[in-house]
Structure 1
Amino acid sequence: MATSLLESYEQQYSTVTADITFHVGQIACHHGAEKQSHVRQAEKLFDEASELLEQMELEVKEQDPRERQKYSTRVKSYKTELLKLQKDMKKAKLGIDANRDELLGDDTHDSEDQRARLLDNTERLDRTSRRLEHGYRAAVETEQIGAQIMEDLHSQRQTIQKSRNRLEEMNTTLGKSSRVLSGMMRRIIQNRILLIGIGLLLVIVISVAIYFTVRRHS
């Protein structure tokens, strides 16, 4: 099951990196708003690829040692590939800026560079905001899960307490029953001893009566 999930992640990662390669290639061929559109698309895809790599790393830990080594090597190569793509995008952006600098001069380059930095900062803020929002949702979900666990534990504690009370009641009832049975056994033993004593007394009386009757006739 875990291996199948890893293969699914790998397929998704392959598709995402192919899209990244396309957008990075388009950055060098366009200017202005269209260029920035490809930059933003590439940045989003980089985030998606990073998340896929994190998911793969978590799944690799669930593999047996032999499979874990194989997939761990693959994940490392994917990380290297992603770093290379990020460098390629930076080079593509710098290459465009350099050409524009040659054509339009230093002032235009400075203005374009400042605009690019502002866009980059905005994109970073957006990514940070998304991560914070994701972290907040995760914290809320964790808090809800914790509250549910506490509620379940409280319910289980009440159930255990009720079971303990029932056991104590049963022990009390068994103790009373044991004392009653002990008293009945004592009475039975006493009655048997009394019956044996009466039987012995009757035997003695009959024996004495027979003895005197026989002696009188003799």
Structure 2
Amino acid sequence: MSEVFDGYERQYCEISASLSKKCTSAGLLDGEQKKQKVSEIKSGLDDAEALIRKMDLEARSLQPTVKAMLLAKLREYKSDLNNLKSELKRITSANSNNKTREDLLELGMADTLAASTDQRGRLLMSTERINQSSERIKESRRTMLETEELGVSILQDLHQQRQSLLHAHNTLHGVDDNIGKSRKILGAMSRRMDRNKWIIGTVIVVLVLAILLILYFKLSH
């Protein structure tokens, strides 16, 4: 909901209530007092109409969901303003005759004021419903923001876990490489040991044969 619109709305409601009282009292006056009261009503109507225009401009500048609610409320205020203008028209066109004024108060004014009172009651109910809808929208937006923050936090956690898994994978890959190198080194050492065994065995055989040959020559002589 717009704080600017709310400010205009409060001002309008105050002016509307004041104009309604002035219309009631103006219908009971005569002469200069009545003219002065009518002048005050006209000035108040101008102020109220200016506030209606400001509320209309403010409502049309807002988001579509809020705009629709405020324009619906604004139509009620425009209807209320038209009722006030009708009351002023009846007052200014009234005959100075006491009987005519009494008939006007009893018939036209009474019906108009009753309609205006009923209208204001509907306005208050509509305002209350709109305010409740606005609160629900705010609550929904607050829930959406909290859900979005939770989603972002979860994504950050998942990203950190992914980085940890990649680091572990790289570490394991390095360990596999080291194990492969170690296997190659051990294989080479094993082959070298086998070759050394064959060499030592051959040397031993040669030495045994040499010893036997020497003994043979000695014994034969």
| Smaller-chain TM-score bracket | 0.3 to 0.5
Q: Which has the larger radius of gyration?
A: 2
TM-score (norm. length: structure 2): 0.46
1 or 2 for the larger relative contact order (CA 8 Å, sep ≥6)? Answer: 2
TM-score (norm. length: structure 1): 0.46
